[in-house]
Amino acid sequence: MPEELLQCQPETETPSAVAIPIIQVEHLHKTYDLGEVQVHALRGISLVVASGEFVAIMGASGSGKSTFMNLVGCLDRPTRGRYLLEGQDVSTLSKRDLARIRNRKIGFVFQGFNLLARTSALENVELPLVYAGLSHPERVERAREALRAVGLEGREEHHPSQLSGGQQQRVAIARALVNQPSLILADEPTGNLDSRTSVEIMDILQRLNKERNLTIFLVTHEADIARFAKRVVLFRDGKVRRDSPVQEPADAAQVLQTLPVLDNDAEEEES
């Protein structure tokens, strides 16, 4: 073949161009020693989650789903097995290194909101950025942007006691977003909310997943909430019993149009 044609040949895609899963767990075990008794919370979990997925984790109390979420969130380490977060093996990292990863790569949303009562919404959202070492002007700018993303522009100076439950959860989501994480872990985020407000929170999570390609891991025991995800993983007795895609995920924005507006919703719009 002539040399000039060889020089014009297109480059082939190399294996390194293949996307790395955001979560890859291999034969994950977690055992708790309670005196003479051993509790096997996880029994060989293997799971792969691609970037941009919206996964609901379901299971009864004691199924292992909360233990699994603690490991995925780098809040604990497995007894054995491997956990790769964006290709990095975090299974055996020190507590300090795990804390650094949590701050940079993972955003947390909890059922109980976990907001500081005596600080404003803006200051609550700023908190992860303080630990990250950002300057005050940059913290304020990013916190305001995160609050705008969840529909709370104009309520930056409100304290938690001045906000409804749904608004407090929005602040918690903004706090999870502010460090621009790769992964959001939401542990029963609608557990303390009424039905309409729950769908409003799911609408926010769906938009973030769609518009930002943000990977979302949602723990819930409610099938009505899991239907908004794209994939459902069912835990039982420390094992994955079912892992299946949701054929037609419910659209939270459309569901909201069918639900009655509650009195407190109208008050929030006027305030």
The domains found in the chain, sorted by start residue, are 19-270 (3.40.50.300)
Give the separation between CA 255 and CA 246, rounded to whole angstroms: 17
Question: Residue 182: which residues within 8 A CB-CB, separation 6 or more?
Answer: 22, 51, 86, 105, 106, 214, 215
Tokens of 210: 């769609």
Give the model confidence (pLDDT) of 133-160 as tens digits: 889 999 999 999 999 999 999 999 999 9
Give the separation between CA 74 and CA 101, rounded to whole angstroms: 8
Give the model confidence (pLDDT) of 20-49 as tens digits: 899 999 999 999 998 889 999 999 999 999
pTM score, two decimals?
0.86
Tens of pLDDT, residue by residue, the chain (271 residues):
444 433 444 444 444 445 789 999 999 999 999 888 999 999 999 999 999 999 999 999 899 999 999 999 999 999 999 999 999 999 889 999 999 999 899 999 998 899 999 999 999 999 999 888 889 999 999 999 999 999 999 999 999 999 999 999 999 999 999 999 999 999 999 999 999 999 999 999 999 999 999 999 999 999 999 999 999 999 999 999 999 999 999 999 999 999 988 765 544 544 5
State whether the Cα torsion 186-188-190-192 is positive or negative.
Answer: negative
